Amino acid sequence: MKQLGTDMDNPFVLIPYESRERFCDRVQETQTIADYLLGGSDVTLISPRRYGKTGLIFRVLEEIQERSSEIDVLYLDIYSSSCVEDFIKIFAEAIVNTLKNKSAISSFFRFLGSIRPVISYDGITGNPKVSIVFRDDDEKRSSLLSIFKYLENRKKKIVVAIDEFQQVRDYPNIKMEALLRTNIQQLKNVRFIFSGSKKHIMAGMFADPGSPFYESSRVLFLDKISKKAYSAFIKAQFEQYGKKIDDDAIDFITSWTKLHTFYTQSLCNHIFIREDRYVSLEAAKRSASQILKENEQQFLEIRNLLTPNQWNFLKAVAAEGEVRQPNSGTFIQKYSIGTPANGSRILKSLLDKELILSTTTIEYTSYSVYNVFLSRWLENH
Ligand SMILES: Nc1ncnc2c1ncn2[C@@H]1O[C@H](COP(=O)(O)OP(=O)(O)O)[C@@H](O)[C@H]1O
Ligand SMILES: [Mg+2]
């Protein structure tokens, strides 16, 4: 049994991935994705924000390395990129970071040919920074090609995960999807994971017959973790530290956080800090309302950014929990939304701001407040 409260340790980690022991479930998904990649397919992973895509990617990359020492892995987060130069820079830095030794790095730079990247190391983190100056768009195209050529020609095969892939849609002046697709198509030694949260953009990129990436990869929609798996995980994590948690406390956690991974994890993390040996239903509820208090300022700031009608609509969705027919007379009248056209406009703007999440199943589409804590807070305000 582990020691209590001595080393700031908390089994409910708030980073995407720490270790297998602290990662809940995703067993099936990990196997499926690893099987696809090792079988020669690229994989596209789509889910709402904070469901656990990034964590799962790290888990999959670890799994791949465990299964085969002949395969390297590379992870790129392109969320902060807004143009092809950024993309190339992030890609080059990830490669340099993986290569570590000097001779490998210079052989990579030789592949980049005339563009002569300059490398420096961050004084604090030690992470490599690569700066490249491009003379024109052609040079950008050719250096991207060189990067892929370099990867293709290494001794080891490699899996490259590109997280927040939908960003490439916004790059100006270059048809990035077409360019990437042309480059990637020919590679035999490189497999890709593409991951993204913006469902309509991602689905458009991979499932729209007019798009360059159409049917080029296996598309997986990541769902929530099941109540059964998460409940067992929560119990086991507490028990490992000699803490007992009541079943009704666990039921409260999973339903109050709607099993949206980040929120479930955050509430558990909070409870773990506060309760020494035993977690009752009351204790779980106490932590939940404490979290809402701690986040209040942020919620009020969101309110300031919205019109009164938008805020009213958001509150209405929170009160319902889930709305399937936002245009129905019942919903509109109950919450004084105005005309259906008005309601549709508000809904669209809240979807664009990612304050409302739309979830589509075979039977219906439903809408909920994206941020679960905000949703719970709105229920009482
Ligand atoms: N399988 C998991 N087990 C435990 N916690 C998880 C798991 N997946 C995600 N999380 C938690 O949820 C948070 C959000 O996950 P993340 O992978 O960043 O989501 P996404 O990439 O889909 O936005 C993580 O920081 C982590 O705390
Ligand atoms: Mg992520």
Report domain extents, the chain: 26-221, 230-379
Q: What is the percent of the chain with per-residue pLDDT over 70, rounded to a whole number? A: 98
124-166 confidence digits (pLDDT tens): 888 888 888 888 888 999 999 999 999 999 999 999 999 999 9
CA-55 nearest atom, ligand 1: 17
199 lines ligand 1 (CB under 6 A): no
The more confidently predicted of residues 6 and 318 is 318
Q: What's the chain's average pLDDT?
A: 94
Q: What tokens were used for 47?
A: 């889910």
83-131 confidence digits (pLDDT tens): 999 999 999 999 998 887 888 888 888 888 777 788 888 888 888 888 8
CA-26 nearest atom, ligand 1: 1
Confidence of residue 64 (pLDDT cuts 50, 70, 90): very high
Contact between residue 205 and residue 164 where contact means Cβ atoms under 8 Å apart:
no
- Nearby residues of 106 by Cβ (< 8 Å), 6 or more positions away: none
Report the pLDDT averaged over residues 47-57: 98
**Distance in Å, CA 263 to ligand 2 centroid:** 14
**Distance in Å, CA 20 to ligand 1 centroid:** 13
230-379 domain in CATH 3.40.1010.10?
no
pLDDT of residue 7: 57
| Rounded Cα–Cα distance for residues 299 and 377 (Å) | 8
What CATH number labels 26-221?
A: 3.40.50.300
Query: Could you tell which of 50, 224, 235 is best to mutate to test the pocket of ligand 1, judged by most ligand atoms within 8 Å of the CB?
Result: 50
Nearest to 176 by CA among 92, 112, 82: 82
| Rounded Cα–Cα distance for residues 71 and 9 (Å) | 33
Q: Give the lowest-confidence range in 11-20, 70-79, 117-126, 304-313.
A: 117-126
14 lines ligand 1 (CB under 6 A): yes
Q: What tokens were used for 353?
A: 């701001």
Confidence of residue 2 (pLDDT cuts 50, 70, 90): low
Report the pLDDT averaged over residues 168-180: 92
Q: What is the percent of the chain with per-residue pLDDT over 90, rounded to a whole number? A: 81
Contact between residue 320 and residue 332 where contact means Cβ atoms under 8 Å apart:
no
Query: Could you tell which of 60, 262, 373 is best to mutate to test the pocket of ligand 1, judged by most ligand atoms within 8 Å of the CB?
Result: 262
Q: What tokens were used for 268?
A: 């558990």
Query: Could you tell which of 261, 263, 268 is best to mutate to test the pocket of ligand 1, judged by most ligand atoms within 8 Å of the CB?
Result: 261
Residue entry with tokens 């020691």: 3
Contact between residue 369 and residue 377 where contact means Cβ atoms under 8 Å apart:
no
